A and B are shown apart, each in its own frame.
Chain A
């Protein structure tokens, strides 16, 4: 995934309108691009071509349905550890070796390692966390989500 900003002239006003409009509510109808294009004052073929180009240029990462991971089954838990600096690299290796560790970030805090466990079954979360504690000799704090709020996040293009 592209992690650097696009040049200022990479997007025109129509591209920006597409990016802003299609962050929700793509139609579930036989000709959804035609419908979405009409709302933007475009024709179907040019909307499809522009989305293709935006994807090729890295302005969008994905186009399609966004699924709730838990609704599809599986269990997820955010975990954190306070890892002493001199052991950090060793602990990264031990933690990342678990396939259940989906992502792992170093963060600026006494709790300096934050990772997500993604497991098939809820009981596997505690099992993997205990295993990491045993291997590293450090506590794994578990922060399961108690409530997820609806997100109004919009990137203004």
Chain B
């Protein structure tokens, strides 16, 4: 799906959140000089095409006690990687799951899964669950804990034209 300038304005207006008001889409429409029905229809089209992944709240997992996370990485047989990756991604404790190219010899891993838990010990238990799920299709694995945030800036759309 290609998004047009009006879609981009809707994205820019809502990417930091929806207004907490009884008719939030009407409010966004008012800011942009559009009809409520058009805003709803465009958001629905973007959701159907995957531009919008979901309309939801994002719990702060740190606030809810999930303070430990690790980037688990797996060398999974290529023939099974799509199927097994889908199963790993579906786990409730995995927040990101990707296939990426290997960079041998330094890096033999092709499946990346970010694991969240309440402690490092819990993260290790969850990692063992993934290892059991992958079984013999996985030749090697590792987990990388972040030891320091060196930079963190939001990736935000401002205005393509601007």
Contact = CB atoms under 8 A, between A and B. Distances in A.
Given A2-B60, A6-B63, A107-B147, A65 B15 contact: yes
B64 interface: yes
Nearest to B10: A65
A67 B15 contact: yes
A30 B58 CA distance: 22
A24 B56 contact: yes
Contacts of B16: 62, 64
Nearest to B82: A147
B132 interface: no
Contact of A5 (B17, B43, B65, B146): B65
B147 A66 contact: no
B45 to A, nearest CB: 10
Contact of B92 (A102, A107, A154): A154
B146 A28 contact: no
Interface in B101-148: 101, 103, 106-107, 112, 116, 142, 144-148
Contacts of B96: 151
B20 interface: yes
B6 interface: no
A61 B58 contact: yes
Contacts, number: 247
Contacts of A102: 151, 153-155
Contact of B103 (A31, A48, A107, A141): A141
Contacts of B36: 30
A41 interface: no
A82 interface: yes
Contacts of B67: 3-5
Interface string B1-18: 101000010010011111
Interface string B57-88: 11111111111000100000000001001101
A34 B148 CA distance: 42
B64 A155 contact: yes
Given A4-B63, A28-B43, A71-B1, A62 B57 contact: yes
B62 to A, nearest CB: 5
A137 interface: no
A68 interface: yes
A85 B142 CA distance: 21
B130 to A, nearest CB: 13
Q: Give 10 nearest A-B pairs by CB, closest first.
A: A149-B89, A64-B18, A104-B150, A106-B148, A104-B151, A26-B55, A71-B51, A155-B59, A152-B90, A107-B144
30 contacts: A1-B60, A1-B62, A4-B67, A6-B63, A30-B26, A32-B25, A59-B59, A59-B60, A59-B64, A63-B18, A63-B20, A63-B56, A64-B15, A64-B17, A65-B18, A105-B150, A106-B147, A106-B149, A111-B106, A111-B107, A113-B150, A141-B103, A143-B100, A144-B100, A145-B99, A147-B82, A148-B97, A150-B90, A151-B95, A151-B97
